[in-house]
Amino acid sequence: MARKRPVRQIANATGTLSEKAMLIRLNIGQWTAKKQEKAVSSKAESDNFAKAGTLSTRKLLIAKEAMQSVNAIVSLARSFHQENTLPWHDNGSRILPATNYMPYMEEMRKLKSQFDSAVQQLITNYPDYILGAKKDLGSLYNEEDYPTQAMLSAKYRFIFSVDPMPQAQDFRISLQGDEVNHIQKDIENRLKVAEEAAMDDLWRRMQEVVQKLRDKMDEGKDAKFKNSIIGNIEELTELIPRLNITGDPVMDKMCKQIERTLVTVDPVDLREDDDYKADVKDDAQEILDAMAAYCG
């Protein structure tokens, strides 16, 4: 018989989210430095007897290396934002628990500063990059493809903004009482669904890092146990308590068990000691079995 999924003891959804979390939105804009070349695409289609519209050719307007610093920071910022927040269902916003507000803001401000510096360097060197593009692109170079330095600067933005969680009790509008109650109930239901989705996301994250370690055990003697496989588990166990918006004691207990049994694992010993690897495999499987009831 299939094991029933335990019913979570969750505090009132409205109070939990409204009092213990907020909504955060990350908005990053940047220049793609790419341009579609329809004439080249059409010629390639014609030369290869291909149907019109089956090919799309885009050229790099400046060297890829010129964009690397900005792109790397953008990638870091988006990954950090995703990892340090929880899913929400509206307009690209995500849930930021109050317990993770300061660590989130501190890191995002640092990334924004790095982003601004990298963009300024790009804009300063932009004329030189255009000169390089003239050589690299040959007859495909077109001066009209390039914005001015001022226009280029305007294409970049790095904004993270905070909004309060909606509260059904604060809903005010001139409607009949039953309509107001209906809307308030709808808001409460949406908050409850969002809270459950957020907690499901945390359980999934824990399951994924433990499963990845467990699966490595079955790759045989050629398996490469990188330090990052344990490092990722350690980072998550440090983050989970700040994202546990319901204060779920089962999640807290599971996180501590992972920290106690897996964070202390030595990747070097995994590579060299088969008996040690078997013990770690058993520990990981035991945790996965315990989590199964909570991970959809």
Q: What is the pLDDT of residue 12?
A: 46
Residue 101 has pLDDT above 90, yes or no: yes
Residue 46 has pLDDT above 70, yes or no: no
Determine which of 4-13, 124-133, 164-173 has the lowest per-residue pLDDT on average.
4-13
169-219 pLDDT tens trace: 555 544 456 666 766 677 778 888 888 899 999 999 999 999 999 988 877
Q: Which residues contact 94 (CB under 8 A, 6 or more apart)?
A: 23, 24, 25, 81, 82, 85, 86, 87, 88
Q: Give CA–CA dist 27/25, Å, rounded.
A: 6
Between 90 and 247, name the one with better pLDDT: 247
225-272 pLDDT tens trace: 788 888 999 999 999 999 999 999 999 999 999 999 999 988 888 888
Q: What are the tokens at 205?
A: 């994250």
Q: In this structure, are residues 44 and 56 in contact, taking their beta carbons and an 8 Å threshold? A: no
Q: Answer positive or negative: Cα dihedral of 225, 231, 236, 237.
A: positive
Q: What is the pLDDT of residue 267?
A: 84
Alpha-carbon separation of residue 251 from 42, 203, 256, 290, 294 (angstroms) = 57, 8, 9, 11, 9
Q: What is the pLDDT of residue 14?
A: 45
pLDDT band at 59 (very low <50, low <70, confident <90, very high): confident
Q: What is the pLDDT of residue 75?
A: 97
Residue 15 has pLDDT above 60, yes or no: no
pLDDT band at 18 (very low <50, low <70, confident <90, very high): confident
Q: What is the pLDDT of residue 286?
A: 93
pTM: predicted TM-score of the whole model, two decimal places: 0.82
135-157 pLDDT tens trace: 998 988 999 999 999 999 999 99
71-81 pLDDT tens trace: 999 999 999 99
pLDDT band at 13 (very low <50, low <70, confident <90, very high): very low
Q: Which residues of 52-73 are buried (b: 16+ CB within 10 A; e: fewer)?
A: eeebebebbbbeeebbebbeeb
What angle, 0 to 180 degrees and rounded to 10, lies between the N-to-C axes of helices 101-137 and 64-83?
A: 160
Between 33 and 46, name the one with better pLDDT: 33
Among 13, 22, 19, 11, CA closest to 165 = 22
